[in-house]
Structure 1
Amino acid sequence: MKRMFLFSIIVLLTSVFYFDFYQKGPDIDAESYILINANTGETLYGKHEDQPFAAASMSKLMTEYLVLKSITEGRLDWDDRVVMSEHAANSMGVKIDVPAGAMLTVRDLFTSMVVASANNAAIVLAEAVGGSEENFTALMNEKARDFGLSRHTRFVNATGLPTVSNEENIMTARDVSKLAVKLIGEYPEVLETTQLTFYQLAYDGSVVYSTNRMLNKNNPSLWFEGVDGLKTGFTDRAGYCFTGTVERNGKRYISVVMGTEETEKRFIETRKLFAYGFNEPNIPSIKTIVKQYVSR
């Protein structure tokens, strides 16, 4: 009898949970977020999506766009070799382990930037496209206006790192989602790179690993079927951020989560958004369900 009673309580709580999830929408623990249908541009869910926040390395999506544009227009080639400048080699944060003066292919640099979020790779590519990171940043802001991004969006560098004067790239979640749509729409081949879990550099055979933990099938708490990108980000000011994209049966969603407090939290919250988009149960543990509703 006691077991039957407990089972009934669990079924009831689970039913209430799913009603909340689909009728009210998921409870997302982030400063700002948005979920859009990339095929139609429709916003499905969001909070503070038009408020500006530090974008951290998610702003590398614009760097990716401009590099791919240069390659498409014939001004750069995947096999071109580019010198690692002192400026790039001395950058902070995540980097590939190569010294100033090293010669790397555009493919090595681009893939390291996309997969591992290597800041020195992003700077070298910015210098190759714009002549200097400063000139490249001007191109980033010009393209943001061309895309119709809001007045809030402003780039100060190609990486998303804080500057010496403590400025950072600023974007809204909606603007990041629009940028992601542009990137994937015009250069869908970028998804061949964003879905890589690791990459071996031709330069020296070293391996870099993806910062996107939603790609790892061996981690079922974060993995989500159909995820094939897109870009993580972190600074002290921005918190842990993630622009994700998922495609199933021709339907593609893009999500942006900004300002979470833990590295895995950005992926957990993204998973909730994607589950909501596909009407798929984002099943929590029974312990979580009971704890949530007992505390009400």
Structure 2
Amino acid sequence: MHQNNWLHNVSYYFKHILIASLALACLITVGSLAGHQINASTVYSYDNNQQVGSNDLINNRHKLYLPHASAAVAMDAQTGQIVYQKNDNQRRLIASTGKLMTLYLAGRKINNTPGAWNQNVAVNNGLRRMSYDGNDGGYHFINGHHYNVGNLMKAGIIASSNNAAIALGQWVGYTNHHFLYMENKQDRLWHLHDHFISASGLENGDLKPWGYGVKGYGNAAGNEISAKDLAVIAYHIIKDEPWFLKYSKINDMHEDGQNLYNYNEFLPDRDYPYLVKGLHVDGLKTGWTPRAGYCFVGTAQMPGHHRIITVVLHDDHQWHDSAKLMRYAYKYSKLLRN
């Protein structure tokens, strides 16, 4: 009787040890395969402040070489799926592409304020002087003339006017200081990790002569935003302010006695049609300062494809690299959906 119980116990424990060992082996195998085949990343749905964990298979299986870009991202604008990333979480100076946050917040106020498009915006002497500067201005503020929100939005979107962007920021936040607070608050609401000290994207040293430098920061300080976060801001503009694309795709426009020229070389009738062919670009924002280098946030939608968003930062070959990135995004964002 005791011998039978002993044999039974041995058999019982041996069986469970064997099962546990097999389970552990399976876990180790799966973990090993995941570590070698899947590059785990966090992909955001961006809706209702919700984050969704997902696996990015693209970078491991399909290499794209962008040697000139310091950072780059491609996103499927409908799903939020990141399909390419290079130094995507590095915060960098991003020049006028930082205006996207300013234009987003202005767009939100326009949508929630009846008649806002035609509201006059106060312009001070600092912004008037700035508007005539060849490097920092862009849209002339003539003494005694009134400018409304619509004038400034077009100047900011199409011509990337720095003084127009700052005036819009003051219209949204009532003071420049409070608007900078609003920019950083909105960034946190989207669970991003950036730092804004400018409505225009100019660096602190460029803003000081016009009275818009931020105390406590050196001349080289500026908006510092990662390529991935910049794609998220662009995502929200397209999602929440789709009318924005009506203006971002305009080559040039005569507005209130002034010409607005769009520096996006992917738009039709430009000097580099071989880059435009088949890309269907209709936005979004260019930027350059000596420290930030050439920056571009692009968006496009080919018939039968989801809209895509691409970001290249500090890239002397921004048009060539953005074209490569867009073609790549069209191809592989579609593969991820199949």
2:311 aligns with 256
Of 283, 289, 299, which aligns to 1:245?
Answer: 299
Are 1:183 and 2:224 counterparts?
no
How far apart are 1:230 and its partner, in Å? 0.4
Moved more, 63-72 or 79-88: 79-88
**Deviation, structure 1 residue 23:** 4.0
Residues 84 and 99, structure 1, Cα contact 8 Å, conserved in 2: no
Give the partner amino acid of 1:52.
R
Q: Which has the larger displacement, 208-217 or 76-85?
A: 76-85
1:193-204 mapped onto 2 (5 Å cutoff): 193-202=247-256
The 2-side partners of 1:155 and 1:174 are apart by 16
In the alignment, structure 1 residue 156 sits paired with structure 2 residue 156: no
**Cα offset, 1:40, TM superposition:** 1.2
CA separation in 1, counterparts of 2:331 and 2:184? 37
The equivalent position to 2:119 in structure 1, one of 50, 69, 80, is 80
In structure 2, C-alpha distance between the alignment counterparts of 1:148 and 1:181, rounded to whole Å: 14
Structure 1 contact 53–238 (Cα < 8 Å) conserved: yes
Find out whether 1:212 has 2:264 as its counterpart.
yes
Mapped pair 1:67 → 2:106: yes
1:288 corresponds to: none
Q: Please give the secondary structure, in 1, of the residue aligned with 2:323.
A: helix
Q: Once the 2 structures are TM-superposed, how far is the Cα of residue 260 of structure 1 from its aligned partner?
A: 1.3
* Contact kept in structure 2, 1:82 and 1:124, CA below 8 Å: yes
What amino acid maps onto 1:232 in structure 2?
A: T
Equivalent position amino acid for 1:256 in 2 = V
2: distance between equivalents of 1:175 and 1:76? Answer: 31
Q: Superposition RMSD on alpha carbons, in Å?
A: 1.8
TM-score by length of 1: 0.80
Moved more, 182-191 or 84-93: 84-93
SS of alignment partner, residue 107 of structure 2: helix
State the Cα distance separating 1:83 from its structure 2 match.
3.1
C-alpha deviations, 1:159-218, integer Å up to 9, x for none? 01011332100000000001110111111111111111112112xx22111011110344
CA distance in 1 between counterparts of 2:114 and 2:123 reads 19
Distance 1:64 1:174 in 2: 18
- In the alignment, which of 295, 303, 328 is matched to residue 276 of structure 1? 328
Q: Does 1:39 align with 2:94?
A: no
CA contact (8 A) 1:31 1:258 kept: yes
> How far apart in 2 are the matches of 1:192 and 1:26?
32
| Pairing of 1:118-133 with structure 2 (within 5 A) | 118-133=161-176
Q: Is contact 1:162–1:168 with CA below 8 Å preserved after alignment? A: yes
Q: Is the 8 A contact 1:226 1:247 kept in 2?
A: yes
1:142 is matched with 185
Q: CA deviation at 1:106?
A: 1.1
Is residue 233 of structure 1 aligned with residue 274 of structure 2?
no
Q: Give the alignment of 1:165-184 within 5 angstroms.
A: 165-166=218-219, 167-184=221-238
Alpha-carbon distance between aligned partners in 1 of 2:115 and 2:182, rounded to the nearest angstrom:
16
Distance 1:236 1:243 in 2: 18
**Judging changes above 3 Å, is the alpha-carbon distance between structure 1 residues 155 and 76 closer, same or farther for their aligned structure 2 residues?**
farther
Q: Does the 8 A contact of 1:85 with 1:101 survive in 2? A: no
Unaligned runs of 5+ in 2: 1-60, 206-217, 333-338
Q: 1:226 to 1:28 in 2, by over 3 A?
A: farther
Give the aligned residue type for 1:145. R
Deviates more, 1:219-228 or 1:189-198: 219-228
Match of 1:222 among 275, 279, 300: 275
Distance 1:269 1:85, change over 3 A: same
Structure with the larger RCO, 1 or 2 (CA within 8 Å, 6+ apart): 1
Alignment deviations for residues 91-130 of structure 1 (CA, whole Å, 9 cap, x no partner): 3524112335431121111111111100111111111111
C-alpha distance in structure 2 between counterparts of 1:94 and 1:30, whole Å? 27
Query: Match of 2:128, as an amino acid?
Result: A
Separation of aligned partners in 1, 2:166 and 2:124: 9
Is the alpha carbon distance of 1:43 and 1:102 closer, same or farther for their aligned partners in structure 2, counting shifts above 3 Å?
same
The answer to whether the 8 Å contact 2:127/2:141 transfers is no
Deviation at 1:75, TM superposition (A): 6.6
Quick check: which has more Rg, 1 or 2? 2
Question: Conserved in 2, the CA contact under 8 Å of 1:234 and 1:241?
Answer: yes
Kept after mapping to 2: 8 A contact 1:93/1:119: yes
**Contact 2:91–2:225 at 8 Å: present in 1 too?**
yes
**Which residue, out of 49, 54, 57, partners 2:96?**
57
- Secondary structure of the equivalent of 1:240? strand
